Amino acid sequence: MKDSFIVIDNVRESDILKALQELSNLYSDTGFTDEIKLYRKKDKYDSFLIQFTNLPDFERFSYFVNYLFYPFGIEKFEPLLKGYYQIRNITESFEFKTGEWIMLFMTKNHTDYDEVSLVNEKNENFNYDFGGGTKKLNQQLEMFKLIKIDLSNYYHVKDINPDKSKPDSESKPWWKFW
């Protein structure tokens, strides 16, 4: 697969559909959440692939990985997720830019609510906060491993689009008003 993507395991289909719809509504003003494609792995009922028709910028992609780890209103949601983003699509100059891909992930013990963890192809681990700051970590939380995706191993579940029937003020959380 040549596009950036997210893989998420250990979730129910109904929960990931709800989380993606809410994500799509929350970030509808960016255009990045127009037509989010959800696929389910053929041999598993709790393993999914997420692709964005409109590739998000790195900052938004990071938000999306974070949001899918901590979605609103879903109880007992403990996903295992990894986001894969191509370095060539990052316009900012970050010290973690090495190789072709980075892997984004979340950990309950090492990643705060307003950041994501990431590892580059040199297995250097960083935290990226949503103020644009990066912090190189002295410990290795994850090793880089690019997952090869073959869409023939997945069922297409649904294309998710923002719900245009909701006024913006109903679907936006408090931090989006600033």
The helix (run of H) or strand (run of E) holding residue 22 is: helix 13-26
Residue 158 neighbours by CB under 8 Å, 6+ apart: 17, 38
List the beta bridge partners of residue 36.
52, 160
Inter-CA distances, 11 with 40, 47, 137, 138, 161, Å: 11, 7, 29, 31, 20
pLDDT at residue 10 is higher than 60: yes
Inter-CA distances, 143 with 34, 102, 121, 166, Å: 32, 11, 8, 41
Write the Ramachandran bin of 175: left for phi over 0, alpha for psi from -120 to 50, otherwise beta: alpha
Which DSSP category does 105 fall into?
E
Domain holding 30, by residue range, is 5-177
Q: What is the pLDDT of residue 108?
A: 80
Q: Based on the structure, what is the number of domains in the chain?
A: 1
Residue 76 neighbours by CB under 8 Å, 6+ apart: none
Q: What is the pLDDT of residue 8?
A: 98
Give residue-wise pLDDT tens across range 97-151. Answer: 999 999 999 988 777 778 999 999 999 999 999 888 899 999 999 999 999 999 9
Q: What is the pLDDT of residue 166?
A: 61
